[in-house]
Amino acid sequence: MTHSAPASVEATLEMLTSRGYLAERSLATVLFLALRMGRPLFLEGEAGVGKTEIAKVLSASLGRKLIRLQCYEGLDVASAVYEWNSAAQMIAIRLAEAAGDTDREQLSSDIFAERYLIKRPLLQALEPDTGGAPVLLIDELDRADEAFEAYLLEILSDFQVTIPEFGTIKAPSPPIVIVTSNRTREIHDALKRRCLYHWVDYPDAARELAIVKSRVPGISAKLSQQVVAFVQALREQDFYKSPGVAETLDWATALTELDARALTAQVVGDTLGALLKYQDDIAKMQGPALDKVLKEATSD
């Protein structure tokens, strides 16, 4: 069932909260604006801060279909937008031949018809949908190469795709577009200009605590407090990759699975791999360094 877009920033915030996404007000503001202005929303930030999650929450709370395009190096039009079903076309040609059909013009227009078109995520997102325009998530755009980024320009500004043999397909109502990037390279200004931009930061302690409580059921108040204090302290250290919210949630879940009631040097040491993903970072957190952070986190 389709729900209408929120009417104010407060309503947007409420909508996100009701789905368990505890957002900063600034994020709710840009999200609200993106919905109202029909602009793509470009979310940038470290890995694991909840950029992808926003698209999922949005699709669930608006009752729209979620179409996800995961980007990778070498992603091309054939796998992102459309492809012709060549095998079926070939058979159609042979059939026409067998039937003695020799009208080339006719054959050409038969072959390049919609039923031979294989629609990939971007084209699907432009299709009319009775449930309302879908949410299109273009995930980790920084992993695709520049050539693909340039191709997106037409889609993101006019919500249309041009297929040389077929014509231009334009969305009757533009999809809600969320673009995410982890900044493994810079995205060109031309693309960013077409979007509203928001940098998703790590949450502060209070918000992170609320997120842990809502996402990890059954966690004790004491443990959740210590977990958040520990992670917040880790983010102040000089690591190659600081833990994101996703890592905090993983860790909290791991600790509850292990029936831990409170943080101890032993249990933290055993589960540190849920938080830190680089050997150098883990090595840095051994012995006295770990004890120091642990002491801070469990002091109150």
Partner 1 sequence: MTDIDHLNPPTGQMADNVIGFARALRAAGLPVGPGAVIDALNAIQLIEIGNRADLFATLQAVFVKRHEHALIFAQAFDLFFRAAEDWKHMLDSIPLPDHAKKKPKPASRRVQEALSQPAVQDVPAAQEQELRLSVSDKEILQKKDFAQMSAAEIAQVTRAIANMRLPQAELRTRRFQPDPRGLKLDLRRTLRGSLRTGGDIVDIRRLGLIDKPAPIVALLDISGSMSEYTRLFLHFLHAITDARKRVSVFLFGTRLTNVTRALRARDPDEALASCTSAVEDWAGGTRISASLHAFNKQWARRVLGQGAIVLLISDGLEREADGKLAFEMDRLHRSCRRLIWLNPLLRFGGFEARAQGIKMMLPHVDEFRPVHNLTSMAALIAALSSVPPPHHFSAIRPAA
List interacting residues with partner 1 (CB under 8 A): 8-9, 25-26, 29-30, 32-33, 35-39, 42, 44, 73-74, 76, 84, 86, 89-90, 93-94, 96-97, 102, 104, 107-108, 111, 142, 145-147, 165, 174, 182-186, 189, 192-193, 196-199, 238, 240, 280
- Consecutive H or E run containing 146: helix 146-158
For residue 245, what are its two tokens? 């919210």
CB of 270 to partner 1, least distance (A): 26
**Is-contact 228 237, C-beta < 8 A?**
no
CB of 184 to partner 1, least distance (A): 4
Query: How many angstroms separate the CA atoms of 33 and 168, rounded?
Result: 28
CB of 272 to partner 1, least distance (A): 20
**Separation in Å, CA 55 to CA 73, 261, 278:** 22, 34, 28
CB of 29 or CB of 253, closer to partner 1: 29
What DSSP letter does each residue of 66-131 carry, written as one string?
EEEEE--TT--HHHHTEEE-HHHHHHHHHHHHHTT---HHHHHHHHTSGGGEEE-HHHHHHS--TT
For residue 47, what are its two tokens? 């890995």
**Separation in Å, CA 36 to CA 59, 100, 204:** 16, 56, 28
CB of 146 or CB of 291, closer to partner 1: 146
CB of 183 or CB of 292, closer to partner 1: 183
CB of 75 or CB of 219, closer to partner 1: 75
CB of 2 to partner 1, least distance (A): 14
For residue 189, what are its two tokens? 């200004």
Query: How many angstroms separate the CA atoms of 166 and 223, rounded?
Result: 60
CB of 154 or CB of 186, closer to partner 1: 186
CB of 75 or CB of 268, closer to partner 1: 75
CB of 168 to partner 1, least distance (A): 18
CB of 29 to partner 1, least distance (A): 4
